[in-house]
């Protein structure tokens, strides 16, 4: 009996090891462990990816970062410098660097203004405003980068990502167990249970299986034990987000623009424009409205059906460019 149990345990362990090896090879990541931020883009990283869109059409792209973990487009000696800060719509590998929305934006600005522009894009997939603030502060200190234009790519799920009380009561385990939250003027509050402490280790950050286990469990939990978030917590998330956005904006001497990658009709997500405006941002309203209008066209989506492929990035970049031009930037 004991021998059978031992054999079964060893077999399961062997299967997990084989599955982990398969995932490491087949699902390369652009991220690595960060003790402070939870995760961050790898530095001096370059890889050619073979992407697929929603209809399984294939396209190639080169994802590249510099020594600061930034996706850089253009020559650093360019006359105008742009800093883009975002989440997965900016930093995840859905296209190569040259096909991103901010590359489309740069090309358009160079053509219209007959100037040279460079873009440095920072942030990370799943990042909330707290992480974006922290990585921006660090980037400015280490790089001495002095942007002429700053663009925050906001996303409606940032309200949840910014709220400890909200996100830790959802199924978003792989993120809230790792990320720092802003609570009572402290930027480094973590989910401090045993599982959280393990997930914030370098070993856990390198493993892929835990994320898939969380995903499977999240599907089960969502189906049978869906959590209900109170109105107070939802309202509180807007107040936390406002405070973080003000701190973010105050990092820069120049005007800071912001747009939303996707629109929503639900509270508090439908308050994004108002919150950004109250924080002092120049808000670009049309990109998310136009992307929402064409979202029934699945041809703009990456294979996950939520993020944008090469065509989606091209359109988003053009929408951002068009509204910026109306602002008479330079």
Q: Smallest Cα–Cα separation from 132: which of 245, 285, 259?
A: 245
Strand order in 80-86's β-sheet?
71-73, 117-123, 80-86, 149-154, 256-260, 282-284
For residue range 141-166, what is the model confidence (pLDDT) as tens digits?
Answer: 999 999 999 999 999 999 999 999 99
Helices and strands (H and E) in the chain: how many: 14, 12
Question: For residues 123 and 132, is the Cβ–Cβ distance under 8 A?
Answer: yes
pLDDT exceeding 90 applies to what percent of the chain? 79
- Residues with Cβ < 8 Å from 59, sequence gap 6 or more? 50, 51, 52, 53, 95, 309, 310
For residue range 89-127, what is the model confidence (pLDDT) as tens digits?
Answer: 999 999 999 999 999 999 999 999 999 999 999 999 999
Question: For residues 299 and 311, is the Cβ–Cβ distance under 8 A?
Answer: yes
pLDDT of residue 7: 65
pLDDT at 243 over 90: yes
Domain boundaries, the chain: 30-326
What gap in Å lies between CA 113 and CA 128, rounded to an integer?
33
Q: Which fold has domain 30-326?
A: Rossmann fold (3.40.50)
pLDDT of residue 330: 67
What gap in Å lies between CA 85 and CA 72, rounded to an integer?
12
Between these two residues, 82 and 208, which has the higher pLDDT value?
82
Question: For residues 286 and 319, is the Cβ–Cβ distance under 8 A?
Answer: yes
């Amino acid at each position: 009996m004991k021998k059978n149990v031992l054999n079964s345990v060893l077999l399961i362990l062997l299967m997990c090891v084989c599955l982990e090896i398969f995932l490491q090879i087949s699902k390369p990541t652009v991220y690595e462990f960060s003790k402070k931020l939870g995760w961050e883009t790898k530095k001096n990283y370059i890889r050619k990816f073979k992407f697929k869109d929603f209809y399984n059409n294939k396209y190639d792209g080169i994802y590249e970062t510099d020594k600061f973990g930034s996706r850089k487009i253009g020559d650093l000696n360019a006359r105008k410098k742009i800093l883009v800060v975002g989440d997965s719509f900016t930093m995840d590998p859905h296209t190569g660097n040259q096909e991103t929305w901010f590359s489309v934006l740069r090309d358009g600005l160079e053509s219209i203004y007959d100037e040279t522009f460079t873009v440095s894009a920072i942030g990370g997939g799943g990042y909330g405003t707290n992480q974006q603030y922290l990585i921006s502060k660090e980037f400015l200190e280490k790089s001495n980068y002095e942007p002429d234009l700053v663009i925050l790519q906001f996303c409606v799920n940032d309200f949840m990502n910014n709220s400890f009380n909200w996100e830790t009561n959802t199924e978003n385990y792989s993120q809230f167990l790792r990320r720092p939250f802003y609570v009572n003027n402290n930027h480094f509050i973590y989910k401090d249970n045993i599982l959280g402490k393990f997930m914030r280790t370098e070993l856990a950050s390198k493993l892929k299986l835990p994320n898939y286990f969380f995903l499977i469990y999240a599907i089960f939990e969502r189906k049978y034990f869906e959590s209900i978030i109170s109105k107070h917590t939802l309202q509180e998330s807007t107040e936390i987000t406002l405070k973080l956005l003000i701190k973010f904006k105050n990092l820069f001497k120049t005007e800071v623009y912001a747009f939303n990658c996707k629109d929503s009709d639900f509270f508090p997500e439908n308050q994004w424009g108002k919150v950004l405006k109250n924080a002092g941002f120049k808000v670009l309203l049309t990109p998310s409205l136009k992307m929402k209008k064409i979202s029934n066209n699945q041809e703009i989506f990456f294979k996950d059906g939520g993020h944008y492929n090469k065509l989606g990035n091209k359109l988003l970049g053009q929408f951002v460019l068009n509204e910026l031009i109306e602002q008479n930037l330079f």
